[in-house]
Homo-oligomer: A and B are copies of this chain.
Amino acid sequence: MGATLNVCITCRAGLAPVEGVLCPGAKLHAALCEAPAPEGVEIRPVECLSACRSGATIALTGPGRWSYIHGPLSVADSGAILDFAAAYAATADGIVPWRERPALFRKHVIARLPPAGDLA
């Protein structure tokens, strides 16, 4: 089963809204959608991940996997986010080994959630 890269498209990242200008979350989503998604990854826009103090924010989820919420991130991180989503999709449990995890995702973690059911 595939992985989902949820992107908060309402995130202002602490900035005041400007009419006619995409908010940072929507900009990040647009940047992530510029190239085809990595194999096994679906990019899903979400209205508010409620991590407004740590935006822009993404969350990696998938059936049977730990979920990981990361931020603050920006358009400049798009390539790294797609690479990391591919690494996440390649795991069975959602846990990318620590030594294979880029510093960006070691440091910019907001929270993680266990999958449903019994934990190993």
Contacts and interface: CB of A to CB of B under 8 A. Distances in A.
Interface string A79-96: 000000000000000000
Interface of A: 4, 6, 44, 46, 48-51, 54, 57, 59, 61, 63, 67-69, 109-114, 116, 119
B113 A110 contact: no
A59 B113 contact: yes
A50 B4 contact: no
Nearest to A8: B111
A48 B112 contact: yes
Contacts of A119: 44, 46
A111 B57 contact: yes
